[in-house]
Amino acid sequence: MNRLKGKTAIVTGATAGIGLKTAELLAAEGVHLILTGRREERLQEVKKEFEDRFDVSVQTASFDVQDAEACKTFVDSLSSSIDILVNNAGLAKGTDPVYEASFDDWNTMIDTNMKGLLYLSRLISPQMRERNTGHIINVGSTAGHESYAGGVVYSATKHAVKAITEATKKDLHGTEVRVSMISPGLVETEFSEVRFEGDKEKAANVYKGMKPLVAQDIAEIIVFVANRPAHVNIMDTIIYPVAQSSATMVHRNE
């Protein structure tokens, strides 16, 4: 049953990967979209494509979720109520150990993965609470359940997303607003290219000799979570490819 048709969703980080595929699958279900990202030209391409393919409206906003004032300006500009907020924007930078890592990389991850998610949750949740309906879906990671060497701050930010998700649900206790989290393992998107500063060879080696998840796999789960009956709240889902059993246990056919 499609319970999503006619609703309006914000998807952050919607220019590629999980965010883009989630937006596409929501549009296919008849959800009107408000897409955010840092690449204005790409957002306009996605808007045109989705409006041509699907019977939905698509709005776009190009800004960085790290910027609190930009987040406020964006939310102030909204003319419609938001039914679903997909906090997808996030990234990893580097794999250096704690004694060698870059402060700039740490700040970028903290400001995007934690603060950006918090800013939009803070700005959108009041209208959901007032209307007594809505769904906040945070894209976390299995790194939010299990830390690993070389991921000290990325893992910390994703542990924070888990804590934020749980605390947000408790803050909204007694309302009909739902709060969920999706925790993927290895997903082949632009993620590793960003982590390795555009080094495509290093990025490809992350998935070498195994079949990783793809954006479609995670987007389907996000849409499934959003489409549950109003009384059902899925707090978290942990998704690995079959070849992965933990953050560091990956079976490779080499």
- Residues 105-148: pLDDT tens digits? 999 999 999 999 999 999 999 999 999 999 999 999 999 999 99
**Predicted TM-score (pTM) of this structure:** 0.96
- Measured CA to CA, the distance from residue 189 to residue 17 in angstroms comes to 5
Mean pLDDT of 79-94: 96
What pLDDT does residue 192 have? Answer: 83
Report if residue 197 sits inside a domain. yes
DSSP 106-126: HHHHIIIIIIIHHHHHHHHHH
| Catalytic member of 7, 21, 158, 162 | 158
Query: What's 104's domain CATH number?
Result: 3.40.50.720
* Cβ neighbours of residue 29 closer than 8 Å, sequence gap 6 or more: 2, 4, 5, 223, 227
| Catalytic member of 119, 154, 207, 240 | 154
Please indicate whether residue 240 is annotated as part of the active site.
Answer: no
Report if residue 34 sits inside a domain. yes
Mean pLDDT of 68-96: 96
Report if residue 249 sits inside a domain. no
Number of domains in the chain: 1
Report if residue 195 sits inside a domain. yes
Report if residue 251 sits inside a domain. no
- Measured CA to CA, the distance from residue 40 to residue 60 in angstroms comes to 8
Please indicate whether residue 158 is annotated as part of the active site.
Answer: yes
DSSP 150-215: T-HHHHHHHHHHHHHHHHHHHHTTTSS-EEEEEEE-SB-SSHHHHHTTT-HHHHHHHTTTS--B-H
Report if residue 79 sits inside a domain. yes
Report if residue 198 sits inside a domain. yes
Report if residue 146 sits inside a domain. yes
Domain that residue 158 falls in: 8-239
Indicate the average pLDDT of the chain.
96
